[in-house]
Structure formats: C-alpha cells, structure tokens
Amino acid sequence: MWKRTLPALLLLMVIASPLVYYQAGNLVYTQAAASNPACSGHAERNSPGAFSVELWHEDVNNVTHQKNDTLASNLEPLWFTSWANVTVQVPGESIDLAGWVMEHNASQPWVILVHGIRSCKANHEVLIPAAWLHQAGFNVMLFDMRDHGDSTVEDGLVSAGQREYRDLLAVWQWLQDERSAAPERIGVLGVSMGAGTAAIAFGEESGLQAVFLESPFSSMGSIIEEELAFAGFPPFLKDAAVFAGKVSSGDDLVKREPIEAMERVGDRSVFITQSLEDVRINIHHGQAMCDAANEHVGANGSVECWFDSSAVAHNDRNESGVLSHVTLMLTQPETYRNKLVNFFEAALATPPAVV
C-alpha cells in the first residue's frame, strides 16, 4: 500500500508547492502593501490650520528625548493661516490627487512634500517641514499619493514607489503648467516611503533638481527581508512576496530601487537624514544611500547627510511607547530647520550651470 501511496503524496506535494509558495507570498505581500486611505487617523485631527503630533510604539531601548521636551509641545507657531485645495490628474491614468498649495508668489521656488506609507498630507511629518519652508519664503505643495488620504483609491495596495513616483512627477509637471514654475526651481522632500518615492522619481526624471530624503529605504528587497526576519519568518518568503505582487497587482516591488537613483545624482543636489536608532527603516539604508550619492555626485552637484540620535518616549492615547522613525525634526528642530532651508536655498536659488 505505502509503495503506491507515498509516490502519490510526493506528487501531490510537488504539484501543490507552487500554489503554497504563492499563497505564502501573497499573505506577506498583502499585509505589507495594504494602504490606509483614512490616513491612520491623521486627517481626523490635522489640517494646515491646526495640527498636532501623535506617535506610536516601536521596540526601541535607547530613549534620548521625552515628547513634552520636543517641538511637539508647541506647534501653533507653525500653523498656516491660508491654503488652497487643488486636484492634480495623473496623465494617462484615472488617478486624481488631492493637494494643498501654500503660495507666496511666482518668483519664489517651490518644494513638493511627499508623505509616508499609510499616511497622508495631514501628517505632522510633512506639515512641519512645509511650515518651516513656507516661513522661509518658499512656495510649498503637499499631496496625497494614490490609495492614500483624499486621492483616488486605485486598488488599496501600495507599490513602494513603483507607481507612486508617477504621482510625484504629475505634481511636478502640474506646478510647471498651472503655476508657471521653472523645473529647476522645484525641489522635493520625501518622508519614509515618500523618500523612496522621491528618490525613484529623481532617478527617472533628470529635470528634478533637488531632493531632501527623510528616513529613506535604499532597497525594498532588503526591507522585506528585514521585516520577515523581525517577525520570525524565513527570508525566502521575500522572493515569494515579490512574486505575489507581480501576479496580484502587476507591481514589481524591486523594479526600481531608490539606491539606484543615487547613481544618477550628477550635478544635482541630495540631502539625506535619519535617526541612528531608527528601527522602522534601519540606519544602514540611509548610510548606503549617502555613500552611493557621494560616489556619484558631479563637480557642480552636492550631497549632504545628517544622522543623529533621536528616540522619543511618549504616552499618546494612554499608551506608552518610544518612537525612533522620523523624529529628528521633533528632537532637534532648530538644527533640522536650518539644514532644510539652507539646502533648498542653495539648490534652488539659481538654475544649474550648463555644461
């Protein structure tokens, strides 16, 4: 009996293994790529006219700051008094992007701000730097990427910048068409996944003059492996998740890697910053991006990197925690503001030299 049954079971396992492989990968993919159009609660309490900081919990042992001692204790001086609601259509796609525009005058340069995953333009992580830049004389624009906030929900899945970079380039082009902004006078600030998105757009569009990358990931492949290891799953599921993404949504999560864009810096400008304690995106990502950018910067380009300790203890919603991801703007606001403003003033002040 076993002589007949065992081969049959082995054959069944061989036949079923591709399906099992796909199902396991699809579970990882759908969990990692799930968006949150509701903006994880940010939009409920925040607007340009009044916004606050609510943090979450990470497994961080080293606490460097208490929340009430950071910028979070007094954000009112950064609240905007006016802004315009705008809609940007992504060319060739049925995607409408919801945006906020804070404009001084047409003669000033622009900075576009790009939020992170499961977030939106109502998050303090983009509203704070937007306020600093606006107070320094820049025109600023914030927008919701597809499947986030008030923008079109395409499929409820995030592609780690593979589709979202087209949203950013649509906004970049919209500023040129609707606000007569010169392309060399438009910079981009991206946060977390928004930084990865900004880097990919920077690599795809040579006309993007300057990017400020806050807590960027260098490789989505590495991120997936690290998340799997952290959760106690085998690393081979990374390839299964990438495969599932291609099958389920057509997204190749590793087709364009942010670090590859750093090989195309040339005579443009890049700033990279991150908390040394960051456990959401490990510091080696920012450091690798910095190394690659420095290796490929041209004689007329610039690369600046700033990594420092920044882990914030808090008790938000009666839940104690420590956050280390995207926290430098809270713990060292004056230094952050000066570096941010100085970077864009230098990068966008005059058109790049024609070689």
Q: Are the C-beta atoms of residues 50 and 78 closer than 8 Å to each other?
A: no
The per-residue pLDDT for 226 is 82
Q: Are the C-beta atoms of residues 295 and 310 closer than 8 Å to each other?
A: no
The per-residue pLDDT for 159 is 86
Three-state DSSP class for residue 321:
strand
Collect all residues with Cβ–Cβ distance below 8 Å to 90 and sequence separation of at least 6.
96, 97, 146, 166, 167, 170
How far is it, in rounded angstroms, from Cα 241 to Cα 253? 9
Written as one string, the DSSP assignment of 169-218 is HHHHHHHHHHS---GGGEEEEEETHHHHHHHHHHHH-TT--EEEEES--S
The per-residue pLDDT for 245 is 65
Q: Secondary structure of 27-67 in the HEC alphabet? A: HHHHHHHECCCCHHHHHHHCECCECCCCCCCECCCCCCEEH
The per-residue pLDDT for 24 is 66
- Closest among 328, 277, 311 to 66, alpha carbons compared: 311
Distance of CA 85 to the CA centre of its chain: 22
Domain limits of the chain? 1-32+220-252, 45-219+254-348
The per-residue pLDDT for 155 is 86
Residues facing 66 on adjacent strands: 313
For 345, the token pair is 């003033």
List the chain pLDDT tens, one digit each, 355 residues: 444 554 544 444 444 466 666 676 666 666 667 778 888 889 999 999 999 999 999 989 899 999 999 999 999 999 999 999 999 999 999 999 999 999 999 889 999 999 999 999 999 999 999 999 999 999 999 999 999 999 999 888 888 889 999 999 999 999 999 999 999 999 999 999 999 999 999 999 999 999 999 999 999 888 888 877 766 677 777 777 777 667 766 777 778 999 999 999 999 999 999 999 999 999 999 999 999 999 999 999 999 999 999 999 999 988 999 999 999 999 999 999 999 999 999 999 844 333 3
Residues facing 275 on adjacent strands: 308
The predicted model scores a pTM of: 0.90
φ, ψ for residue 114 (rounded to 5)? -120, 120
How far is it, in rounded angstroms, from Cα 339 to Cα 327? 15
H helices present in the chain, as ranges = 2-33, 42-45, 124-135, 164-178, 193-204, 220-231, 237-248, 258-261, 283-296, 328-331, 333-348
Q: Hey, what CATH class is 45-219+254-348 in?
A: alpha beta
The per-residue pLDDT for 225 is 82
